[in-house]
Amino acid sequence: MSDRKNRVCPVERAGSLDNRIRRWLQDPRKILRPYIKEGMTVLDLGCGPGFFSLDIARLVGKSGRVIASDLQEGMLQKLRGKIRGTALEEQITLHKCEENRIGLSEDVDFILAFYVVHEIPDQEVFFNEIKSRLKPNGQVFIAEPPVRVSKTAFEEMIRKARDAGFTPVERPKVFLSKAVILKKALP
Ligand SMILES: C[S@@+](CC[C@H](N)C(=O)[O-])C[C@H]1O[C@@H](n2cnc3c(N)ncnc32)[C@H](O)[C@@H]1O
């Protein structure tokens, strides 16, 4: 258990995940605009303090929704503080998940897992669960930090995604990241 605790990004590091320098290097709108359209329901899995969640809400607009989900209540609290009393509060639903179970009851159009998958203990279980929650033409955007995730580990992660029934369709270029877009494989 202590290994797990060490692997999960602590709430005290939330500030390093949401600041102007990161916004400049990894502009959420630029990264996600090609994939997220108005009206979509998007799962921001492992949302942390919500660096991506707010811009996703702006991209999906009033007719869309964001489910911002995290394992740590402390991260959700940070995001709650950012949206409280703003128009985005209506669009963003906060959801506390478990280590190996997201536990959503609705299907989504798009899933973002940015710097998260290497923190998830059972990736096979994870890929199977997101596959069951993704709409038929939906997409999953995974980005991993190159310092923590080697090329071999990233390819192994994609192999597990393939085994669960996903096909990699694109390798987007994202600064300081290894990234892939997955779609459900055709039956
Ligand atoms: C490095 S942070 C990235 C946060 C955010 N995606 C970003 O890019 O700013 C990883 C986040 O994933 C969350 N996390 C770790 N394991 C998780 C799991 N099994 N299920 C859901 N979230 C998890 C952590 O609590 C943390 O907030």
User: How much is the pLDDT for 183?
Assistant: 98
Cβ atoms of 64 and 42 within 8 Å: the answer is yes
Q: What is the pLDDT of residues 110-126, one digit of tens each?
A: 999 999 999 999 999 99
Ligand 1 contact, 71 CB (< 6 A): yes
Q: Does the pLDDT value for residue 2 go beyond 90?
A: no
Measured at the CA of 124, the angle between CA 174 and CA 167, to 5 degrees, comes to: 50
- Whether the pLDDT of residue 4 is over 90: the answer is no
Q: Give the model's pLDDT for residue 171.
A: 98
- Structure tokens given for 152: 């071999």
Q: What whole-number distance in Å separates Cα of residue 24 and Cα of residue 138?
A: 28
User: In a mutational test of the pocket of ligand 1, which residue from 51, 71, 174 has the highest number of ligand atoms less than 8 Å from its CB?
Assistant: 71
Sign of CA dihedral 172, 177, 183, 185: positive
Q: Is the pTM of this model over 0.85?
A: yes
Query: If you take atom 27 of ligand 1, which residue's CA is the nearest one?
Result: 48
Q: Is the CB of 114 under 6 A from ligand 1?
A: yes
Residue 138 Cβ inside 6 Å of ligand 1? The answer reads: no
For ligand 1, the distance from its centroid to the CA atom of residue 69, given in whole angstroms, is 9
Ligand 1 atom closest to the CA of 22, numbered from 1: 9
Q: Is the CB of 11 under 6 A from ligand 1?
A: no
**Averaged pLDDT for residues 124-137:** 97
pLDDT (0 to 100) of residue 187 = 74
**Could you tell me what percent of the chain has a pLDDT over 70?**
97
Least confident of 3-7, 27-31, 78-82, 136-140: 3-7
pLDDT tens per residue across span 62-98: 999 999 999 999 999 999 999 999 999 999 999 999 9
CB 18 within 8 A of CB 51: yes
Cβ burial of 34 (10 Å; 0-12, 13-18, 19+) is exposed
Is it the case that residue 6 has pLDDT exceeding 80?
no
Q: Is 120 in the pocket of ligand 1 (CB under 6 A)?
A: yes
pLDDT of residue 1: 40
Q: Is the CB of 70 under 6 A from ligand 1?
A: yes
CA nearest to 108, candidates 141, 76, 92, 130: 130
pLDDT in tens, 34-64: 999 999 999 999 999 999 999 999 999 999 9
Confidence of residue 172 (pLDDT cuts 50, 70, 90): very high
Nearest residue (by CA) to ligand 1, atom 10, is 116
Specify the residue with its C-alpha closest to ligand 1, atom 4: 48
The Cα–Cα gap between 157 and 120 comes to 11
